[in-house]
Chain A
Amino acid sequence: MKLTGAEIIWECLQKEGVDVVFGYPGGAILPTYDAMTKYPKIHHVLVRHEQGATHMADGYARASGKVGVAIATSGPGATNMVTGIATAMMDSSPIVCITGQVGSKAIGTDAFQETDVTGVTLPITKHNYLVTKPGDIARAIREAFYIAKSGRPGPVLVDITKDAQQMTAEFDWEAAAPRLPGYRPSYHAPASEFARAAELINSAKRPLILAGQGILKSGTTAEVLKLAKSAGIPITTTLLGIGAIPASSEFNLGMMGMHGEAWVNQAIQQADLLIALGMRFDDRVTGNLKTYALNAKKIHVDIDPTEINKNVPVDVALIGDLREVLELIQPQVKKAEHAEWWATINASRGDAAVRDIQSLPDSGHLYAAHVINDLWRLTQKRDTIVVTDVGQHQMWEAQYFRHEKPRSLITSGGLGTMGFALPAAIGAKFACPDKDVWVVVGDGGFQMTSCELATCEQEGIKVNVAIINNSFLGMVRQWQEFFYDKRYAATPMTGPDFVKLAEAYRLKGLRCNKRSDVKSTVAQTLAAKETVVIDFVVEKEDTVFPMVPAGADLDKMIRRPKQDVMLESGSDKDWEMPSSPLPNVFAEAKAEATVLNGRGKAAKSAKKPARKAAKPARR
């Protein structure tokens, strides 16, 4: 069958099972857009900026587990995709980007809207292609999909010249099967390594599982829980691993790392065995590598051999698919309980629960953590996906929103991309139209891609946007507070009237600045048919606790000063919040505050605030 290159592109997408693509037309991709009208089964979402298209493809991929597709034109269209591609690369998200390129004869002449896109994206894609002949398109796209989703997933870009889209070629799907002799998506660790790993697990006294995004990618929540249960091993998750283990699981201690739970970081430092499953020992997770988990032997399970020994030297590496590894190791693991180890962890858990993230002053102001925790309690009976950007709101979300299901949190972890949340949420909504999709985003990040509200309006989809508006670039401000003597250079920030902005896009806007209004605001949002933007006006100079300064030892955390805990903490009763199956952290904080305040001034002056005692990080 002879088809134009443009038609071959759509045929391939259809054969790959693509039902939605996110894109923006332009000169060099016009033939493809022209052919699109012949393929009505694939829905095209017109974005407002190509960065949005890549984030949408990314959000779609992370919510569905399928490959997300973004399309853009040459030059500026393609370079606008760079941030989204890098985001997908860092978080191992399978996306395929198709870009138009100037005609093959014009390549290298600095033609209008010409950019060396394969050169630009070389270090931020898993692989990329420049296609100059229509006959090569099908194989390039098939290989792109295969590479994107196999092994450690990642973004693949296919740059197709305009003449290749216009000219015709024979379309033969079977003949275009991937031929990748050098591509090794997976490995199989030798049996001897499994024996060594099992021996370490069976002889450990204080083991700990570090659960990463690999569990979500391989869908092994049940298998990991089985391992934890049979061998009595507590689990901690990375930021991207949130949701991989239900928050309500008794084995889940919570998140590790820079803004992780204090007892988790202490447990890592005390452990005698770390079992890292599909995580990569990121610097935000390890803190100072020289003092990281020195007491622990390490077993590293990852599908990507380049992650082994990259940051942390390990004792046993099991390179391969997590599912296969867990299936092979489980029969060799002996039953254990580790009661002593659990007692140690629980002891520090009791202390930290009231000191750090969960003890919030409530002086009548609205606190972001309250908003997020209330949002969780008000939506916990619904099927919800939360999408976050990067910054304070992201950390508060990770701390206060309890994720029970895999793929219920989508966040830019590795690259830390501001502006990720709204477009990624749109992608997630297309992947899961029956779920509620909430965007939790800062006022800074939201303004980077707020133009995508128009996409929501044009597509008639509903995402709920909770702007945590503190009129600051909050995380940067926090660093300035701790490490730059509160010189708030370029972090105070104004924004538009977000309610009016939503209305300008013919969407619904709401404002909330009292805790007592949170419930009704969320109710109105859920009741609305269209996308709703909520401006949560929160305390300006609030801080994410605890915090491990960059490069500091993992257990040298800056903790919330005890005297910050106030008696006036809002209770569930005051705001008629639905009860939660989990212990009410605010009630605990309040009880502790009562004790503290009972000690009066003596308690206040007894200890200097930890934040002043902490040494600033070197960078």
Chain B
Amino acid sequence: MAKHTLIAYVEDVPGVLNRIASLFRRRNFNIDSLTVGRTEQPGVSRLTVVVEATEAGARIVEANLYKLVNVLRVDDLTHKPSLFRELGLVKVKVTAQTRSQVLELTEVFRARVVDVDEATLVIEVTGTPEKIGKFEMVMRPYGIVEIVRTGAVAMARGHELMSAAPPLVPTAPVADHHHDSGLSMSV
């Protein structure tokens, strides 16, 4: 099992997010994160879904996404040169003694302080999900009051357009099949 990052372009109609979330629940896949936002095209939203799946499982997710009527196209960025970004806001406790240390670390992470009061700092940090995890880790000893993460968004590098091709289902024997139990699924 590994993390797979899928991009889906969907029609911006009521219930579309529900359909996608329902699909993952129904087919028993774990969503790591799901973000959604507008695109350059009116009426089209773009989703970034990070899902815990095997290679074969990821293909099945992709095929199932395509099966939804409102899904326009899907791309798996996992094995492509891509940019992954997430934004985190971290509210950290500070004292007169620790404030400078926290600011120093913030500098190291190229994060920004966006709010200050006498006992806390709110720091905005962007980067890969791993970087935000790291930042959270180094802040923890000072006392994290609150943390919020947007979940990852992703974009392929380079000038090639994303494929609008139908899902390519691999037909070579798949070793890491997503149903590891060979037992019948029902009674």
- Residues in A lying within 8 Å of B, measured CB to CB: 118-119, 122-123, 126-127, 130, 147, 180-184, 187, 193, 283-284, 286-291, 304-306, 308-311, 313-317, 319, 550-551, 618-619
Contacts and interface: CB of A to CB of B under 8 A. Distances in A.
B184 A283 contact: yes
23 contacts: A123-B26, A127-B69, A147-B69, A180-B69, A181-B72, A182-B71, A182-B72, A184-B66, A286-B184, A288-B183, A289-B182, A290-B182, A304-B67, A305-B166, A306-B63, A306-B67, A309-B171, A310-B60, A311-B179, A314-B171, A315-B172, A319-B169, A550-B187
B122 interface: no
Contact of A182 (B18, B22, B70, B179): B70
Nearest to A288: B182
A619 B187 contact: yes
Contacts of B177: 309, 313
A309 B187 contact: no
A315 B69 contact: no
B66 A313 contact: no
Interface in B106-127: none
Contacts, number: 89
Interface stretch (B8-16, B77-85, B149-157): B8-16
B59 interface: yes
Closest 6 CB pairs of A and B: A290-B182, A283-B184, A551-B184, A289-B182, A305-B63, A182-B72
B182 A291 contact: yes
A182 B182 contact: no
Given A317-B169, A317-B171, A182 B10 contact: yes
A288 B59 contact: no
Given A289-B179, A308-B63, A309-B56, 11 more contacts: A118-B15, A122-B15, A182-B10, A187-B166, A288-B183, A309-B171, A309-B174, A309-B177, A313-B174, A550-B184, A551-B183
Nearest to B57: A309
Contacts of B179: 289, 311
Interface string B155-178: 000000000001101111110010
B3 interface: no
Contacts of B67: 304-306
B128 interface: no
A308 B187 CA distance: 23
B99 interface: no
B186 interface: yes
Interface string B128-156: 00000000000000000000000000000
Contact of B18 (A119, A284, A291, A310): A119
B18 A193 contact: no
B165 to A, nearest CB: 10
B61 to A, nearest CB: 9
Contacts of A181: 11, 72
B21 to A, nearest CB: 10
Interface in B39-67: 56, 59-60, 63-64, 66-67
A315 B66 CA distance: 22
B19 A122 contact: yes
Given A182-B68, A310-B60, A316 B182 contact: no
B185 interface: yes
B36 to A, nearest CB: 15
A313 B68 CA distance: 23
Contacts of B174: 309, 313
Interface residues of B, number: 37
A539 to B, nearest CB: 25
Contacts of B14: 130
A289 B179 CA distance: 10
A304 to B, nearest CB: 7
Given A130-B14, A311-B179, A316-B171, A306 B22 contact: no
B182 A309 contact: no
B184 A182 contact: no
A141 to B, nearest CB: 15
A323 B174 CA distance: 28
A315 B173 contact: yes
A305 B167 contact: yes
A122 B59 contact: no
B182 A315 contact: no
Most central of B14, B15, B56 by chain A CB within 10 Å: B15
A178 to B, nearest CB: 10
Nearest to B171: A317
A287 B72 CA distance: 36
Given A181-B11, A306-B64, A193 B171 contact: yes
A314 B11 CA distance: 33
A289 B68 CA distance: 28
A266 B68 CA distance: 38
B10, B14, B73, B187: most-surrounded residue (chain A CB, <10 A): B187
A87 to B, nearest CB: 15
A130 B15 contact: yes
A258 to B, nearest CB: 9
A10 to B, nearest CB: 25
A123 B21 CA distance: 11
Contact of B183 (A284, A310, A618): A618
A291 B183 CA distance: 10
Nearest to A186: B166
Contact of B169 (A119, A184, A286, A305): A305
Contact of A123 (B10, B22, B173): B22
A313 B54 CA distance: 14
Contacts of B73: 182
Contacts of B60: 306, 309-310
Nearest to B23: A123
A126 B70 CA distance: 11
User: A123, A181, A187, A618 — which one has the most chain B CB atoms within 10 A of its CB?
Assistant: A181
A180 B10 CA distance: 11
A123 B66 CA distance: 15
Contact of A313 (B11, B56, B166): B56
A177 to B, nearest CB: 15
Nearest to B15: A118
A103 B185 CA distance: 41
A308 B169 CA distance: 7
A122 B66 contact: no
A143 B59 CA distance: 28
Interface-central residue, B67, B170, B171, B173, by most chain A CB under 10 Å: B171
B179 to A, nearest CB: 7
Nearest to A147: B69
A287 B184 contact: yes
Contact of B59 (A180, A309, A314): A309
A108 to B, nearest CB: 12
Contacts of A317: 169, 171
B171 A315 contact: yes
A305 B22 CA distance: 19
B128 to A, nearest CB: 30
B168 to A, nearest CB: 9
Nearest to B73: A182
